Structure formats: C-alpha cells, structure tokens
C-alpha cells in the first residue's frame, strides 16, 4: 500500500476525502521540513545566521523529533550567483535515511531530502528572478523546451568559492550523496525517494526529483515530492517531462496563498485561447505550469497576511481539520516563545531589510510585483 500512498496511482481516490494514512504521511513529511526551520539559526544578528544550530547526530533530538526513525547522513548548503552584499552559502536542508526499525514499519528503505524555504537576502532575490531558462541538467540530452525559473535554477546549481560550505553546488552535494546511498542500498530491498520542501524549498525538491529521474540516478526507485506552499517551477515542457519520467508530486496548497500562484500570474497552465487548449501555441513554451496533484486547504488571517504561507499553519489545518480556524491561529502564533525566531518573522525581517536599500535596481521592481499581486487579489 505504501506505493499508492507515495503516488503510484497519482493519489486517485485518496484526496476526496483525504485518506487518513495519507494525511499522516503528509504531516510526517511536513514535520521533517519544519525541522529545517527549527534547526536553522534565523537570528539575523547572529554570526551563525542561516547555519544549522546542531550537529547531524543531535539535530532531530534538539528539535523534538528524537524518535522520528531517520538518520541524517548529510547537510545541504545552497548559494546563488546573484552579486549582492550577503553571506555566501546557507544551510538549506538535509539528507536522511530510515533506520532499520523504521524501514520495517514503512515496508521499504526511505531516502529523504528536506528543504526549508526562503530566509536569506540572496534567496529573496532568487525568488524575484521569474524569467525562464533551459534546465539543461543532462549534458547528453539538453531538451531546450524544458525550462525552469532562473532563480531556483541558480540556487540549485551555483557555487561560491569564498564559502567552505558552497564550494560545491547544492546539486553536486545532493546528487553525490544520493548516488552513494542508492548504490549502497539498491537490491537490498524495496526503496523510495521522498523529497519534501516548503515554498522555495519545494522548488528545489522538484528540481532534484526531475534531475535524479532525467539522469537515471534513481535506478527506477520511485520518486515522490511533497510540496508545501510551493510556487510554479518551470514551463509546460518541464511539467510534461516530469510526468514522462514518473516523478510524483503532491502539492499541498492553501487557496489563499499568493506564493502558490507565482510565477506566471498571466501565462500559466490555465491559459485558454479560443478553446484551443490542446494546440501548441507560439507562447506555450513561456507558460509556467504546476506539476502534480493538488491537495487544497483553505485558511486566512487578515491581521497576519504571512499566516497564509506559514508551514505551521498548513500542518495545523491537516492535524486538526475539524477545528475552527481561530483555534489553529492561536496554536500557530501564540504557541511560540519570544526567544524563538520563527520563519515568518525572519523572512519578513529579511524582506524589510532588502526594501530599505533603495539604491538597488531591483527594489522598485520587487515593490511593483508586490503591488501587482495585491491588486489582482491573489
């Protein structure tokens, strides 16, 4: 049954109503993503800002997940080629494998890669780079029609020689470790590859899933992406190629979350012209498209706009689907101590810091994008 829960049948008849076992798995993988935020130093005044506060052996214990059943094998760092005065490589996630006990419970060895969302100034800038670029991740099969958002691609493939953590790109770090684990575990028993992320992290998870499948490094081991509040990553060509390669994606989406509607506000998979939706139009390659199956949630908080994108709010609604929204809000925002700097606060601090630098050429463009999103009511 685990294969169906991981999307072997595209979650047919599992979403409406939501299968209890699938709900548990979505929450479980969401907690692994939440661990990225809890373990990351989000204090912008700290010398270790954007680094992990704990070692690999103790990280799960320190964030309250000691009995999660996974062992971390590698930390992941990412940077971008954007030239702004900011720290280089930042800790963005980790790779873990299920323990023998957890493997027995799950029915397979699970290789997990978890990514957090946007925190640093460079990452915010990458989010605003909404132009499409050919992915070209397989040198032997360039596929120019497969295009992805340039900012996400930069975070995935860039190196920073000045940083000891990012002298290899995020891509190189992950593919090397994944190849090692798969080669060690392949043919020992059934396996799964699970990639999970929130916001920008979900984009990196999808890029990784596509990359593994395109290069054939997964050896036909099923790849599943759990995306929480994820934006569009690539064009229609990218979507079609992911489907051809068998990459399964479950998109957990708050219908009021504007991030899930970007990029591609106008040119996207919903574009219909004169009813010829099945015809390849001249601008089809420029259309962004979501990949996978959507699980829609619905929550909103007028006084805290960032609430609609908060991962803890997503998980709160999944954990307590019959609770009133007011209860979820209270749990999400009042349950944290003043000392704990959560993602929402840190992210908005970073964005406000960027917005105060009026001399930067992208400042007005970013502000206009924000005004556009607001005016469209999305």
Q: State mean pLDDT over 315-338.
A: 56
**Confidence band for 180, pLDDT divided at 50, 70 and 90:** very high
Alpha-carbon distance of 263 to 261, in angstroms, equals: 6
Q: For 186-212, what is each residue's pLDDT tens digit?
A: 878 999 999 999 999 999 999 999 999
Q: State mean pLDDT over 326-354.
A: 40
Residue 238 in contact with residue 209, Cβ under 8 Å?
no
Which domains are delineated in the chain? 27-376 (3.40.50.1820)
Alpha-carbon distance of 186 to 220, in angstroms, equals: 10
**Which ranges of 169-310 does DSSP label H, i.e. alpha helix?**
170-185, 200-215, 236-245
Place of tokens 């805290």: 304
**Confidence band for 370, pLDDT divided at 50, 70 and 90:** very low
The pLDDT value given to residue 322:
65
Most confident of 47-51, 98-102, 266-270: 98-102
Of these residues, 50, 192, 290, 309, which one is catalytic?
309
Q: State mean pLDDT over 296-317.
A: 88
Q: Helix, strand, coil % (nearest 5) of the chain?
A: 40, 15, 45
**Confidence band for 80, pLDDT divided at 50, 70 and 90:** confident
CA 160 to chain CA centroid, Å, is 22
The pLDDT value given to residue 301:
78
The pLDDT value given to residue 115:
98
Q: Residue 261 is encoded by which pair of tokens?
A: 């509607």
Beta bridge partners, 268, equal 288
Of these residues, 199, 202, 203, 350, which one is catalytic?
199
Residue 358 has pLDDT above 50, yes or no: no
**Which ranges of 251-307 does DSSP label H, i.e. alpha helix?**
none
Of these residues, 41, 110, 160, 257, which one is catalytic?
257
Active site residue 257: yes
The pLDDT value given to residue 187:
79
Q: pLDDT exceeding 90 applies to what percent of the chain?
A: 62
- Strand bridging mode 109-115 / 132-134: unpaired
Q: State mean pLDDT over 147-167.
A: 83
In sequence order, which residues have a C-beta less than 8 Å from that of residue 48 and are 6 or more positions away?
41
């Amino acid at each position: 049954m685990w294969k169906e829960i991981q999307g072997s049948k595209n979650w047919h008849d599992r979403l409406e109503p939501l299968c209890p076992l699938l709900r548990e798995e979505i929450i479980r993988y969401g907690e692994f993503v939440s661990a990225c935020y809890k373990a990351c130093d989000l204090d912008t005044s700290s010398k270790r800002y954007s680094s992990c506060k704990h070692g690999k052996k103790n990280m799960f214990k320190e964030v309250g997940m000691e009995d999660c059943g996974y062992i971390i094998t590698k930390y992941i760092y990412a940077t971008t080629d954007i030239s702004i005065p900011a720290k280089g490589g930042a800790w963005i996630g980790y790779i873990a494998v299920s323990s023998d006990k957890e493997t027995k419970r799950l029915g397979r060895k699970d290789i997990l890669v978890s990514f957090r969302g946007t925190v640093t100034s460079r990452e915010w800038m990458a989010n605003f780079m909404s132009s499409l670029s050919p992915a070209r991740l397989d040198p032997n099969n360039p596929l120019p029609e497969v295009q992805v958002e340039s900012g996400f691609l930069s975070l995935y493939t860039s190196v920073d020689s000045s940083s000891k953590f990012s002298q290899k790109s995020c891509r190189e770090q992950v593919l090397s470790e994944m190849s090692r684990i798969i080669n060690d575990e392949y043919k020992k028993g059934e396996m799964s590859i699970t990639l999970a992320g929130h916001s920008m992290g979900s984009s990196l998870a999808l890029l990784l899933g596509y990359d593994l499948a395109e290069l054939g490094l997964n050896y036909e081991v099923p790849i599943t992406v759990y995306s929480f509040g994820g934006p569009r990553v690539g064009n229609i060509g990218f979507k079609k190629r992911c489907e051809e390669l068998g990459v399964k994606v479950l998109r957990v989406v708050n219908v009021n979350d504007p991030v899930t509607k970007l990029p591609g506000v106008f040119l996207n998979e919903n574009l219909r012209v004169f009813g010829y939706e099945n015809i390849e139009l001249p601008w089809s390659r420029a259309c962004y498209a979501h990949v996978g199956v959507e699980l829609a949630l619905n929550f909103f908080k007028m006084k805290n706009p960032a609430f609609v994108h908060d991962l803890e709010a997503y998980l709160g609604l999944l954990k307590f689907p019959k609770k009133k929204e007011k209860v979820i809000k209270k749990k999400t925002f009042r349950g944290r101590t003043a000392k704990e700097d959560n993602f929402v606060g840190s992210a908005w601090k970073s964005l406000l810091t960027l917005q105060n630098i009026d001399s930067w050429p992208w400042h007005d463009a970013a502000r206009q994008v924000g005004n556009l999103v607001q005016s469209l009511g999305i």
